[in-house]
Amino acid sequence: MSTTLIKNIGILQTPVGSHSHAGEEQGENRKLHDAAILIENGLITEITDEGRLPQGASGVDVTIDADYRLVTPGLVDGHTHMVFGGYRQHEIPMKLKGATYLDILRAGGGILDTVRKTREATEEDLVYKTSRFLDEMMGFGVTTCESKSGYGLDFDNEMKMLAVNKKLDERHPMDVVSTFLGPHAIPDEYKGDGDAYIDMVCEKMLPYVKEHDLADYADVFTEDSVFNYDQSRRYLEKAKELGFGLKIHADEIEAIGGSRLAGEIGAASAEHLIVINEEGLQSMAKGGTTAMCLPATSFYLGATFAPARRMIELGIPVATASDFNPGSCPSLNLQFVMNLACIRYRMLPEEVLTAVTINPACAIGRGDRVGTLEVGKQGDLVIWNAPDMEMLCYRFGSNLAAKVIKKGNIIK
Ligand code: NIG
Ligand code: FE
């Protein structure tokens, strides 16, 4: 039995509960002053404030002095494409000469370029490379993340990517939730025939993924020149029937009905939503779908920013994530995402904290275990080089995570 005590916490700030927080509740955080937390065998067993120490504080194995700084739950990155071969820095000059994201994809580059490099990589290569990303993410304060497939686009390579997710979850301290994104692009073998590719994904891949428990969620890139509304719907209906949670890359570049579909089909989240229209917003509000907003992607693509304030007004739970991938967002820094959420989405610091903790945790099915600091939840937390959340939203470009604790163990 190992016990860890974190004492002298200046402000312990956390959302409360295991459910998604929408509307006014998005901005409701509990703030305890001069607090302490006791973690036993990886779980929080006591939280105190006003300088009182937990009853079990004597005889603990490890004591950490937070030095009167801010402590929050470990961050949750609810949307990443972190398993991939190669990089795509060669796209920078193309972009500077005016090529758009979809121009590059239509010319056989972009995602398809990463598919070629990912197919060449072995499972062990990918486990090694992605482990280093996980180390870096944890250094920024992330203790749980999601990871999508989608750079294999054939049976063997998609299953290889999902096996990487599984191994990382088992071997690395990070909790990794696996999402199947077989319909991420139309592979060369099915060029011009998205319907046939979706048929194959539904008949061969989805049942295998379910049977071998390789992913919790199924996702699709619903976009102009990629998968249309009908193809996305067919795929998601099959996934739902098999028992997957549902996600959609929707309204990233063109609004072709992805967010509307997300609400209609009861998706856990719709992601991107840069160009979402009122119909999509109303559908998501009705369907109880979380908006997984990705501001660093807007920043990197030079696009507009998702209407997060309108989403909060409509009672849609807002989460913000990195979208770390080699094309549209080559950054895994969730602190930068928090800065952008505040400055570009106009979200208040309390709303931002909810958007990087409990809301993404619920959107990846982990709200009962992580995302808040409460008795019974995992001892995942960050001690920040900051006195309050305002400082975290304000300073950008530096890493303010001083100490990162995962299940009571010091990671950083
Ligand atoms: O979420 N847009 C689709 N998928 C990723 C980008 C993948 C890539 O460009 O490699 C995204 O932005
Ligand atoms: Fe993405």
Q: Which domains does the chain have, with CATH numbers?
A: 3-73+372-410 (2.30.40.10), 76-363 (3.20.20.140)
What pLDDT score does 59 carry? 85
The 8-class DSSP code of residue 372 comes to S
Per residue in 19-74, pLDDT tens? 999 999 999 999 999 999 999 999 999 999 999 999 988 889 999 999 999 999 99
Q: Which ligand is nearest to the CA of 300?
A: 1
* 218 CA → ligand 2 middle, Å: 13
Per residue in 242-276, pLDDT tens? 999 999 999 999 999 999 999 999 999 999 999 99
Q: Hey, which of 92, 106, 118, 249 would you mutate to test ligand 1's pocket, going by the most ligand atoms within 8 Å of its Cβ?
A: 249
Start-end of H helices in 121-242: 123-139, 155-171, 194-200, 206-211, 229-242
* 323 CA → ligand 2 middle, Å: 5
| CA–CA gap between residue 123 and residue 118 (Å, rounded) | 9
* 180 CA → ligand 2 middle, Å: 12
Pocket of ligand 1, beta carbon within 6 A: 81, 110-111, 114, 221, 249, 252, 297, 323, 325-328
Q: Hey, which of 325, 329, 332, 337 would you mutate to test ligand 1's pocket, going by the most ligand atoms within 8 Å of its Cβ?
A: 325
Q: Hey, which of 81, 221, 298 would you mutate to test ligand 1's pocket, going by the most ligand atoms within 8 Å of its Cβ?
A: 81
In the predicted structure, residue 391 carries a pLDDT above the cut 70 = yes
Per residue in 136-163, pLDDT tens? 999 999 999 999 999 999 999 999 999 9
In the predicted structure, residue 397 carries a pLDDT above the cut 90 = yes
- Of 397, 387, 321, 327, which Cα lies nearest the Cα of 359? 321
Q: Which ligand is nearest to the CA of 274?
A: 1
What pLDDT score does 3 carry? 96
Per residue in 169-213, pLDDT tens? 999 999 999 999 999 999 999 999 999 999 999 999 999 999 999
Burial of 162: CB neighbours in 10 Å, binned 0-12, 13-18, 19+: buried
What pLDDT score does 1 carry? 65
Per residue in 92-117, pLDDT tens? 999 999 999 999 988 889 999 999 99
What pLDDT score does 58 carry? 87
| CA–CA gap between residue 174 and residue 182 (Å, rounded) | 24
What pLDDT score does 290 carry? 98
Angle separating helix axes 155-171 and 123-139, nearest 10 degrees: 50
Would the CA dihedral through 191, 273, 253, 328 be positive or negative?
A: negative
Q: Which two tokens stand for residue 4?
A: 């860890």
Residue 328 φ/ψ region, left for φ over 0, alpha for ψ in the -120 to 50 degree band, beta for the rest:
alpha
Percent of the chain with pLDDT strictly greater than 90: 97
Cα–Cα distance list, 280 to 26, 123, 222, 286 (Å): 20, 38, 13, 10
Percent of the chain with pLDDT strictly greater than 70: 100
- Give, using CA atoms, the residue closest to atom 3 of ligand 1: 221
The residues, ordered by sequence, that sit 6+ positions from 268 with a Cβ below 8 Å of its Cβ are 217, 245, 246, 247, 289, 290, 362, 363, 364, 365
Which atom in ligand 1 lies closest to the alpha carbon of residue 326? 10
What is 283-331 written as a DSSP string? HHHHHT-EEEE-HHHHHHHT-----HHHHHHTT--EEE---B-SSS---
Instruction: Report the chain's mean pLDDT, rounded to a whole number.
Output: 97
What pLDDT score does 142 carry? 98
